[in-house]
Amino acid sequence: MKVLLIHTPIWTVRSPPLNVPYLAAYLRRAGNEVTVIDMNCELYHAGGRACRCFWDRAFLFQWQAWDEFSKTVLPRLVGPALPGYAARARD
């Protein structure tokens, strides 16, 4: 079976959670074809220095409230990346 696991924002990039890699390893050992996308880390690096503030604790509200997210994070980070993620998910 093909499995796609996506680690979504927002989590610190300095100490990422281990749940996705552990789950991926378990599924692979069970004979599944597993692809992992670390959307959190990829978006952090894709946005450059200007967008790294979104991972600061003081800016977490911009991910949590739709009105803030749609004005700040979505147009600068998530929106431009979505076609690439959709293409990878289809593969």
Q: How confident is the model at residue 91 (pLDDT cuts 50, 70, 90)?
A: low
pLDDT-based confidence at residue 42 (cuts at 50, 70, 90):
confident
Q: Residue 6 has what DSSP assignment? A: E
> In angstroms, rounded to a whole number, what is the distance separating the alpha carbons of residues 82 and 45?
15
Q: Which residue has the higher pLDDT, 49 or 79?
A: 49
Look up the pTM and report it. Answer: 0.72
Using CB atoms within 10 A of its CB, is residue 90 exposed (0-12), middle (13-18) or buried (19+)? exposed
